Amino acid sequence: MREEQPAPTGDPSASPGVPDALAPAQESPVTAAAPPSRRAALMRSGLIVGVLLVVFGIIIPRYIDYDDVIAAFKALTLDQFLVITALGAFAWVVSGLIFSALIEGLSWIRGTMSWLILAGIGASVPFGPWNMGVLWVVVRGWGVGNAPATSGVALYGVINILSRMFLPLFGIVALAAGGDLASAKSAGAAWTITIISAVAFVLVTGLIVAIVRSERIADWIGRTGQRVTEWVLHRLKRTGTPDVSGAIHKFRDQLGLVIRRRGFAALSIAVLAQFVWAGVLVVSLRICGVPADVLSPTVIFGVYALVMCITIIPLSPGGAGVSEILFISAFTTIAGTGYEAAITAGVFLYRMYFWFVPIPLAWILMKVARGRKPILPTTSELRDYAKGEPA
């Protein structure tokens, strides 16, 4: 069957070892998982350091006193810390179930490890899709076949983006039902983002379903996409045309069966994971002193949905700095004066479990998963796995 065929060799991401979410099977696992050039690595590392310095060293201190934020953290009790830690761990497990849904036979424990490794390595080593390559090597090392590992890692990117596109529509409905939308100062912008994301969600989902269910439709989309691409490149006076039709058929051949069997379940779990993380944010704000009459759960979820949609474009690894400034600015604008420190502390607490804590855990889990092997994969190991051979 197609899903058992070895993937051919040849950015949250190229394939087949670590496929690009939208163009699988374009590169070899060795190319995808190998570290970038020194120049590219320095530029990407410099970007994330620059973003963090600007956000936390210049922008936030203009509006927030860090001493007040520290005081809010110190006011947390042991019980509150245990509650938020348990909720954060539960969010890791639910997020990891996406991998368990996409990769047959992958336990929930290894699914959780997969999510933490992907999140932690991506946040600590900002080398584009390289974290997906590292995860692919780990999954292959667990004895998962080349095709299932490739498909699972590839589709995670697609499923994650679709789940985030879905959120604003639900969020704005929740705001309207709770009566919070009419008083929102940025309701127009919220509607704009919601409409764009909803249309994108419907179009992308519809295209994927059509491609994997009908070869005739896949042929038509491929021909149409090829003509449009050639026309655009001709207008731009660019030479060389990508094989759009071929890429669509590779997507259908390699991932179609997995999408038909596991796509809906994985997308449902991904949406559930977003709700769980929104719950982590709500609890974080509450225990840091932001009451419900200042920021209701529907308002928090509405802002969360919009931020998740905006940060689909990876301005920085894990949204570091960008997510914080979006959350804090939106919440403080809605809440008004007097809650700036509590809101900042709550956002930092949420981000600690979503972004910071997975970094050390990822390296620990990499050491556990890799055993006596080097923590990061070697070139020879990548070549062995790319050939479908044990490393």
pTM assigned to the model: 0.79
Closest CA to 251 of 240, 259, 263: 259
For residue 16, is the peptide bond before it cis, meaning its omega torsion is within 30 degrees of 0?
yes
Distance between CA 57 and CA 61 in Å, rounded?
A: 6
Eight-class DSSP state of 7: P
CA-CA distances (angstroms) from residue 217 to 25, 212, 221, 223? 21, 9, 6, 10
Q: What is the DSSP string of 157-177?
A: HHHHHHHHHHHHHHHHHHHHH
pLDDT in tens, 372-388: 888 877 767 777 776 66
Distance between CA 365 and CA 368 in Å, rounded?
A: 5
pLDDT in tens, 204-223: 777 777 777 777 777 787 78
Q: Which tokens sit at 6?
A: 């070895």
Tens place of pLDDT per residue across the chain (391 aa): 333 333 333 333 333 333 333 333 334 444 455 555 666 666 666 766 777 788 788 888 887 888 888 998 999 999 999 999 999 999 999 999 999 999 999 999 999 999 999 988 877 765 556 678 888 889 988 988 888 888 888 889 889 988 998 888 777 776 666 665 555 555 555 566 667 766 777 777 777 777 777 777 777 877 887 788 777 777 777 776 777 777 776 767 667 777 888 888 999 999 999 999 999 999 999 999 999 999 988 889 888 988 888 888 766 665 677 888 889 988 998 888 889 999 999 999 999 999 899 999 999 999 999 888 888 777 677 777 766 655 5
pLDDT in tens, 27-84: 444 445 555 566 666 666 676 677 778 878 888 888 788 888 899 899 999 999 999 9
| Burial grade of 305 (CB within 10 A; 0-12, 13-18, 19 or more) | buried
